[in-house]
Structure 1
Amino acid sequence: MDPKKPIIALDFSNQEDLFHFLDQFEGQQLNVKVGMELFYAGGKPFLERIQAQGHDIFLDLKLHDIPNTVERAMAILASTGVAMVNVHAAGGKEMMAAALRGLEAGSNGKRPLLISVTQLTSTSTEQMNQEQGIPGEVLDSVLRYAELTKAAGLDGVVCSPLEAAAIKAACGPDFLTVTPGIRLESSVADDQKRIMTPAKASRSGSDYIVVGRPITQADDAVATYQQIVSDWSGQK
């Protein structure tokens, strides 16, 4: 998965709309994110159809279960040939280590990158304090989860771009930060609360950025994608 290219979140309600969107990028290799809704509807054949067009997939299922179940599930997901998968860091160190074992056992060659979710970018400090019962600031929780993820041997975390620099400082420069919540200056925030532009995310230490609606709902998706690539790489 090329870190120079943003990961496009394919948040479509059906496969017909998704492939109509991808047809606009004929001849280009994209990084794309497939979430629960589409994967549960289409399964492995759906992933294979995307891969047949040359695209790399971040399979965003956020596994969170007992270690044995996660390990077995990851062994199956590894066989799909996706480039990246994830778990919830809240599942704990043992569960994350089990996920890594499953990926290694199920991979035929290079295993997918394995990252964890720290705090969702839709989570506010108030929600974390009152609903999750976790005191302090969001960054405190994110750093705790990131350090636990590194201790489990995973490649990195999903986090807000606002937290990437602090995670790099705590976990080292090679620990990956995958950051949703990316918006152009002209884009609305939607349901994201901790957001940043591509250029600022690049300067803040994000290794991969995830962009959905600003591209998928744009009047000219290809032009918007190229604008984000340019902004992300610093070529304005």
Structure 2
Amino acid sequence: MPAGHTRQPRQTRLIVSLDTKDSGQAIAWRDATAHASPMVKLGLEFTYAQGLEAVREVAGTRPLFLDLKLHDIPNTVASAIGSLARVRPAMLTIHASGGRAMVAAARRAIDETFAEGERPLLLAVTVLTSLDDDALHETGVESDVADQVVRLGRLAVSAGADGLICSPHEIRLLRAALGDEPVLVVPGIRPAGSAVGDQKRIMTPAQAHAAGADWIVVGRPITRAPDPAAAAAAIAAELSA
């Protein structure tokens, strides 16, 4: 855990994913969900469309989860992280599958680039929630998803990651393997009755909370709802029940 971040007794909090190319729409969703979500997520779709200055503008005063999933040679990833200092994210992501040297380079870049107390949490993506065992095997990985998630989780944390991105199905496995310290940020959340979309390993907010998630990430079930504010509030209430 980097300086400036103090772990609180575990509670599961909501991050709203602002998946759009439009700044005005992103700001509208940000404001509508402010009462329910202490952090917002901006990812590849928005950043590629609008750039880092717009990312900073949309985040405003809200803590930012910058989900760019960096994956390249160690020096390139480190240099990219150095370019993110002006955005001041609270969390940023890399792919654990980039290997130990890449994760370690990302750790050093954060420690060298950001002032103490302003360092973002370095989160390593294990296996994307859109993949199941068959899809993973097609990429040449012989392990099943659960084993691969734990393997990559161990590697990333030992190389300096503060936490992991995993589906809700692997939360308990990672807690058993790595304990309570790593921050687990969990996409693949679908409230009861929501469309599954392109996700394959999903749970409800309450199930992810019970399994031990620190944060859940929810996009379309909130932003595509007729009333995003009410949808976010319902999920927050489910997490605190």
Which TM-score band applies after superposition, normalised by the shorter structure?
Answer: over 0.9
Q: Which residue is 1:97 aligned to?
A: 104
Does structure 2 conserve the Cα–Cα contact (< 8 Å) formed by 1:179 and 1:209? yes
Please say if 1:36 is aligned against 2:69. Answer: no
Deviation at 1:137?
Answer: 1.6
Stretch of structure 1 that moved more, 197-206 or 104-113:
104-113
**Contact map agreement 2:126 2:149 (CA 8 A) in 1:** yes
The within-5 A match list for 1:147-226 is: 147-226=154-233
Question: Which stretch of the first structure deviates more once superposed, 170-179 or 14-23?
Answer: 14-23
Change in Cα spacing, 1:50 to 1:16, as seen in structure 2 (3 Å) is: closer
User: Unaligned stretches of 5+ in structure 2?
Assistant: none
Q: Once structures 1 and 2 are overlaid, which stretch shifts more, 91-100 or 131-140?
A: 131-140
Decide which of 53, 61, 66 is 2:68's aligned counterpart: 61
Report deviation, 1:163: 0.3
Give 2:123's match in structure 1, choosing from 107, 115, 121.
115
Q: 1:154 to 1:196 in 2, by over 3 A?
A: same
> Measured at CA, do residues 195 and 127 of structure 1 come closer, stay the same or move farther in structure 2, by a change above 3 Å?
same
Deviation at 1:51, TM superposition (A): 3.2
Report which stretch shifted further, 182-191 or 19-28: 19-28
Give, in whole Å, the separation in 1 of the partners of 2:36 and 2:190.
22
State the 1:27 CA deviation. Answer: 7.2
Contact between 2:53 and 2:87, CA under 8 Å: does it hold in 1?
Answer: no
Structure having greater relative contact order (Cα 8 Å, sep ≥ 6): 2
Cα distance in structure 1, aligned partners of 2:134 and 2:226:
35
Tell me the TM-score normalised to structure 1 length: 0.92
Cα distance in 2, alignment partners of residues 48 and 102 from structure 1: 20
2:132 maps to a residue whose letter is: S
Tell me the CA shift for residue 93 of structure 1: 0.5
CA shift, 1:176, in A, is 1.4
Change (3 A) 1:120 1:27: closer
Q: 1:201 to 1:26 in 2, by over 3 A?
A: closer
Give the Å deviation of 1:25: 4.2
Relative distance call for 1:29 and 1:196 in structure 2 (3 A) is closer
Partner of 2:54: 46
TM-score by structure 2 length? Answer: 0.91
CA RMSD of aligned residues (A): 1.8
Query: Closer, same or farther in 2 for the Cα pair 1:40/1:4, shift >3 Å?
Result: same
8 Å CA contact 1:29, 1:56 repeated in 2 = no
Query: Does the Cα contact within 8 Å between 2:165 and 2:186 map onto a contact in 1?
Result: yes
- 2 CA distance for matches of 1:166 and 1:28? 28
Deviation at 1:162, TM superposition (A): 0.7
Look up the match of 1:134.
141
Residues of 2 paired with 1:202 and 1:232: CA distance? 6
Amino acid at match of 1:38: F
Amino acid at match of 1:95: M
Letter in 1 for 2:66: L
Match of 1:7 among 3, 15, 31: 15
Mean alpha-carbon deviation: is it higher for 198-207 or for 16-25? 16-25
Cα distance in structure 2, aligned partners of 1:55 and 1:98: 27
1:94 Cα deviation after fit = 0.5
Q: Secondary structure at the match of 2:203?
A: coil
Q: 1:161 and 1:6 mapped to 2: Cα distance?
A: 14
Letter paired with 1:75:
G
Q: Could you report, residue by residue, the CA deviation over 1:64-111 in whole angstroms, capped at 9, with x for unpaired residues?
A: 111111111112213321100010111000000000111111113320
The aligned counterpart of 2:80 is: 73
Other structure's SS at 1:195 match? coil
Distance in 2 (alpha carbons) for counterparts of 1:27 and 1:208: 16
d(CA) in 1 for partners of 2:36, 2:187: 22
